[in-house]
Amino acid sequence: MTIQGPIRPQPFSRIGKPTPRIDGAAKVTGRALYPSDESVPHAAHAFLVTSPIARGRVAGFDLGDARAVPGFLDFLCHENVGGQAKPPKQMAGGETTTTMESDRIWHDGQIIGVVLADSFEAAREAAFKVRIQTEAEPPSATFGSAGTTEEQREDEQKEDFAVGDAEMALAAAPVMLDAWYETPTQHHNAIELFTTTCAWNGRQLTIWEPSQFVYGLRGNVAQQLGIEPADIRVVSKFVGGAFGSKGGATARTAWIAIAARRLGRPVKLVATRDQGFTIATYRAETRHHLRLGANGEGRLTAVSHEGWEVTSRPSFYNVSGTETTARMYAAPNILTRVAVVHADRNTPGFMRAPPEQPYMFPLECAMDELAARLGIDPIELRRRNEPARDPVTGLAFSGRHLMTCFDRGAAEFGWNRRNAQPASMRDGDWLVGLGCAASTYTANIAASTARVTLRPDGQAQVRLAGHDIGTGAYTVVAITAADRLGLPVGQVTVEMGDTEYPPAALAAGSSHTASITHAVVRACDALLAQIATAATASNAGAFAGREPATLSLRDGHLVAPDDSSESLADAVGRISAGAVEAYAENVPDGMPADAIGKLYQGQLPILRGQKRVDMTAYSFGAQFVEVRIHARTREIRVPRMLGAFSAGTILNPTTARSQLMGGMIWGLGSALLEKTEIDQRAARYTNDNIAEYHIAVNADVRRVDVMMLPEPDGAVNPLGIKGIGELGIVGVNAAVANAVFHATGQRVRRLPIRIEDLL
């Protein structure tokens, strides 16, 4: 049953109580099955053969030694299966590179063959014994390499802005800040590797693969193989970290499906850590030209932000964070532009806060630089530029509490102890610096569906093809259903991550909690409507002849406003001795009605929040960082971080805190440690392992405080959820760079900031 129209407020809501993860015990006891853990009888093992060059063609393979490995079964490449799959559809940015469809090599580490064998060890050994002949051409690695091409971004999903006349305003500005910034290549490096297991049963294909969008993966593979989505099932019950890297379909899945079809037995692939750098997506390096014009009081007269991003040859994938730049501060003149630079690289993709993480870095550093130039406190500078309405569209903000975040955060952090003079604070051998920056992220929501059942004994079950990528999604679904059905959380079981269940929107863009919980609420309300209608239509019982819409569920009972009540055993049992079931769809206001049809097809959903015409909806935060830099060695430590966030309804403070803290810690690693190094001549990633790709570890992370400010926002969506998946990471890089400046007087505009930058 589909019920649209307003979602009624829940009269007995207990949302917002700290709740431990309902899947926690399963995870720590090993009962939680990640996709490659699923036991698939008689599976063969695959090992990928990847390109040793970045540009050219495959001239042939010598398989003599590989075939001699005991257990070797088969070798797939463009010669024998190339015509059997089309490249996956990019979720954004047009065409992507091909893999085994032809002999063409687009990038180093591209999949060019698949070895199949009886064991993983045999497959690996045989793969290393495949001799690859190539015809190489000189590759282009990155910005500034010979042979790259640059074009202005063209993308229907993204916008750039020209408000007023920024060039003229900049030329006339009493104070102008003009600077260039750089962010590096980065890879997600989730602990769980990229895996795919495929099994055919006649025409039916089952895929076990970690995914942020199981219906999307199903639709994409169906299109690649030319089969019906309904003939594919995707299972992804648990995901060991994704951060965007498991959001889109990549090439490997279809090849493993083809391998399983050819062999007539299931095939399992667990790609290696280094292969993950090139067979999946990553955060591309960016460059920025930032110009701020201001008057003597620090009021912005112009903001200009031009960005450059690297992508692959055929794709114009870009993240374009300039949409957020244009909305941050009250400037009457705004100019933004983004260009993509094509190189011989794999196609980049979503990585936590794809636009804001790289684009807020220059903006928030530039604001800090402007504050220092004007002798104004950086928080005060932001206050003077706080816009009353969206500076681009003139729309009202749906809750904009940036300054509340700064003020509450500053008080807690002890900002008033900061001496504004750079390099003025010292503790023994350590130079002390305090820095801050703003965070923000679009409040997104997408269409989604859910099915809920309730038994007379008060056990409820929620099923939807949602995704818990480590965020606590199972738990927020249970909380939402328990709240709505008037049950303890322990009486709700949740099943997700399987296309056997009704479709849920993708777990990305900080949209998933808002998307799935609204569908769960609608399904629970549809269930209540059935129960209440039966109770009021009955000739017997407490509610005979009453109005069904006045009844609610509370504490295992159906109740009326006058507190008369009936047990669930009676109320549910009146309809069924088994279970009452309801299915519901939620299409957020203002979204096209075909959103649900597209969801079933596995098309990339439109996230409400982008191009919203009734209001501009963002979450906000303020990041504070203390750095200590050793006066002689320039070693950089971060003893203290604090983030104050305003993100609407927080369904579960326990998992929300963890999510925000995780984002902040990643922001720290991203500012000081993380960089994928590229061999310029070979266009090859050199530190493609987690020994040399540095991330923040325990010793790097000291005190991290998370403040979640209460923000009732009934306008953004009925439950007031703005999303927190990305908010925690945004701005941390700038806050660190600003703190480094404050400690040393040295302004570093290129990430990551390392000892050598401060010598």
Separation in Å, CA 221 to CA 218, 224, 652: 5, 5, 35
- For 742, list phi and psi in degrees, rounded to 5: -65, -35
Q: Which is nearer to ligand MOS, 187 or 684 (CB)?
A: 187
Of 352 and 749, the one with the shorter C-beta distance to ligand MOS is 352
Residue nearest to ligand MOS according to CB distances in the complex? 244
Helices (H), 538-652: 568-573, 595-601
Q: Which is nearer to ligand MOS, 509 or 648 (CB)?
A: 509
Cβ proximity to ligand MOS, 193 vs 351, nearer residue: 351
**What are the residues facing 677 on neighbouring strands?**
none
Alpha helices in 574-729, H assignment, sequence order: 595-601, 653-672
327, with CB counted inside 10 A (0-12, 13-18, 19+), is buried
Q: In the bound complex, what is the minimum distance in angstroms from residue 666's beta carbon to ligand MOS? A: 11
Q: Which is nearer to ligand MOS, 584 or 724 (CB)?
A: 724
Q: Could you tell me the CA-to-CA distances from 392 to 159, 335, 401, 607 in Å, in that order? A: 11, 10, 18, 20
For ligand MOS, which is the closer residue by CB, 335 or 660?
660
Min separation Cβ 726 and ligand MOS, Å: 6
The full DSSP string for 174-235 is SEEEEEEEEE--B----SS--EEEEEEETTEEEEE---S-HHHHHHHHHHHHT--GGGEEEE
Could you tell me the two tokens for 437?
A: 């920056």
Cα separation, 355 vs 235, whole angstroms? 29
For residues 277 and 350, which CB has a smaller minimum distance to ligand MOS in the complex? 350
DSSP, residue by residue, 700-717? G--EEEEEE-----TTTS
Could you give the CA distance from residue 722 to residue 514 in angstroms, rounded to a whole number? 7
For ligand MOS, the closer of residues 73 and 360 by Cβ is: 360
| Residues paired with residue 705 on neighbouring β-strands, in sequence order | 642
| Structure token pair of residue 627 | 């750095």
The rounded distance, in Å, linking the Cα atoms of 352 and 374 is: 33
- CA-to-CA distance for 437 and 410, rounded, in angstroms? 11
- How far apart CA 270 and CA 647 sit, in angstroms, is 37
Binding residues (CB under 6 A) for ligand MOS: these are 212, 243-244, 247, 350-352, 354, 508-509
Among the options 101, 192, 356, 726, which is catalytic?
726
Kindly tell me which of 45 and 352 has the beta carbon lying closer to ligand MOS: 352
3-state percent helix, strand, coil for the chain, nearest multiple of 5: 30, 25, 45
Kind of pairing between the strands at 636-646 and 703-708: parallel
Instruction: Output the smallest distance, CB 209 to ligand MOS, in A.
Output: 15
Q: Which residues pair with 288 in a beta bridge?
A: 181, 307
Q: Which is nearer to ligand MOS, 470 or 588 (CB)?
A: 470
Give yes or no for a contact between 672 and 754, defined as CB atoms under 8 angstroms apart. yes
DSSP string, 482-494: HHHHT--GGGEEE
Contact 617, 646 (CB under 8 A): no
Q: Smallest gap, in angstroms, from Cβ of residue 528 to ligand MOS?
A: 33
Answer left, alpha or beta for residue 545, where phi above 0 means left and psi between -120 and 50 means alpha: left
The CA dihedral of 225, 227, 230, 233, to the nearest 10 degrees, is -30
Q: Least CB distance from residue 730 to ligand MOS, whole Å?
A: 12
The least CB distance from residue 465 to ligand MOS, in Å, is 16
38 labelled catalytic: no
Q: Are 575 and 457 in contact (CB under 8 A)?
A: no
Catalytic residues: 726
